[in-house]
A and B are shown apart, each in its own frame.
Chain A
């Protein structure tokens, strides 16, 4: 098999995985690496800096919307799985009805290893081992989350960051994706990304907003996100196929 050139810039991998984490859902990978910040400790820590990892999926502050994850306004003290209009995993909804409230104690446990505290959660974040950092992050969340969310937080306002990405997303989504075709094509995805929406080492892609989904694939196509396995799958997909996949996964409900 022919080798494909790996165009990794000689700057540290940590650096580009940080970029990657900010850009998308692959925060799992970031956390494995400690994202440079955590690993080296070279940069001063505070809650806001630590939140950068969360920002890939969560909005917080005035007018926050749901993205890949629910908005975090009012998160401290909020009941688990309780943001209206967000498609939670069954596990998260059950946690809420079991009375789990996101107080400091529970957030400390959850953020240490989300998949342990709420098995079956869609949050594809591996966890933050450092207790001090978790405490800093939660303290910052407590302050930052006092703002009012958007009136209709369920309506996503995801805007792809570059013109190229935006026009790609527009072109792809201009055609209506065929979910039946998407289901067949998805056979290739669900070998790794679980159809149930569970994330255990591989991010969940179930129920993602279509524009987010398309944009993420664009970033794999264009090396903004660097993962050889994903790139290989995506470069062989045409626009119709991407639209079909986005339509299929967008319709799936996590369980």
Chain B
């Protein structure tokens, strides 16, 4: 793209956005207001970039029900014993002190799109000119017959990091030789496509390290294939021979039900009994998305590929796991990337700053065993109304040890980098 076309593009978009922004200016007292719901990889990044790049010209409020955030990414490394829990938990203090973001700790219950206010669970309301919705995922509990939020206290999903992750870890650490762990892996689309299989690797690592060679992990999948499958299966064969069994639906015939009390998962093929169950249900956008009316029948939120703006409300942006982001996987990297595009467009709307063409990227690293990391990544841009991949790469089987070790080291560097980019 030449300089001319890019600048031209910026001007055209800028002008269109300014028109949209006009009524907001007239209505709001003083500075334009942005409210961000959800303080994870998407929401916190958006809040930070809007506040940072507008240099005080926009009021930014970040709503999250917690005052600290445990990252789902790298929580498998906590399970595997490579990280401690504190190292994957982050506060919002720098966002407040360094960027002047107002952090509201509480749960957003609904959105009045006509009045442009967010209603909190305690009844208070927060007005906005632009709203960024980044609630991550919620579970479709009944996607696994017999599973529920209550049952997750016995058989954790641990697919939202925090107490669930610690519960899963304590259960993993209690597994004895000869016992079986059963994982029910979720159907697409779900948060972190390689996540369940990295988790299986990390659980096997822990068992193997403790010498529990007769302990076993059975994965009952709801999909015929999964992310980085060849790489994981190669690694399982190499490091954890005989410890991991993976069953596709075509083999087990479908998951009928779970009984977390009895520790059983019944499929068409058989009833599997485990000392520990890890049930990861189907997923949808966090509840506030549906409450705001920006989710469609899929449970997720359609967006404009060039801006992350909701197709249902021009004043609302939806980013991260809750959005339908075309070819992009639901990952922290994706959410962080989408947040920057959304932040730029929010600023364009409200303070007429320059808007450049959207570019997105993602890389997902997974650890299979100590110093054996693999990665998959892609670069994306809007095409035909969707976010499409321009170019992709994936680690190959039979790679040199040194390259796999470098991948792992790179992922550790990335973690430090991205949490700094998210939380300041």
Contact = CB atoms under 8 A, between A and B. Distances in A.
B409 A28 contact: yes
Contacts of A196: 420
A191 B336 contact: yes
Interface stretch (B14-22, B113-121, B370-378): B370-378
A162 interface: no
Interface in A176-190: 178, 180-181, 183-185, 187-188, 190
A231 interface: yes
A123 B179 CA distance: 48
B390 interface: yes
B402 A13 contact: yes
Contact of A194 (B3, B336, B392, B420): B420
A142 to B, nearest CB: 31
Given A6-B396, A14-B402, A232-B391, A190 B417 contact: yes
Contacts of A33: 402, 405-406
Given A3-B396, A14-B402, A191 B354 contact: no
| B49, B333, B377, B393, most chain A CB atoms within 10 A | B393
B131 to A, nearest CB: 21
A251 B389 CA distance: 31
A187 B340 contact: yes
A147 interface: no
Given A14-B402, A192-B413, A196-B420, A1 B392 contact: yes
B391 A236 contact: yes
A17 B403 CA distance: 10
B402 A181 contact: no
Interface residues of B, number: 45
A89 B412 CA distance: 22
B410 A4 contact: no
Interface in B1-23: 1-3, 6
A15 to B, nearest CB: 10
B400 interface: yes
B394 interface: yes
Contacts of B394: 1, 3-4
Contact of B390 (A184, A188, A236): A236
Given A3-B396, A17-B402, A201 B409 contact: yes
A236 B417 contact: no
A198 B419 CA distance: 13
A137 to B, nearest CB: 22
Nearest to B376: A1
Given A33-B406, A195-B420, A228-B377, 18 more contacts: A1-B389, A3-B392, A4-B393, A8-B400, A8-B403, A17-B406, A28-B413, A181-B356, A191-B337, A198-B416, A202-B413, A202-B416, A202-B417, A228-B375, A228-B395, A232-B377, A232-B392, A236-B359
4 shortest A-B CB distances, which residue pairs?
A: A201-B413, A202-B413, A187-B340, A4-B393
Interface of A: 1-4, 6, 8, 12-14, 17, 28-29, 32-33, 175, 178, 180-181, 183-185, 187-188, 190-196, 198, 200-202, 227-229, 231-233, 235-236, 238, 240
9 contacts: A13-B402, A181-B356, A191-B418, A201-B410, A202-B410, A228-B393, A229-B377, A232-B391, A232-B393
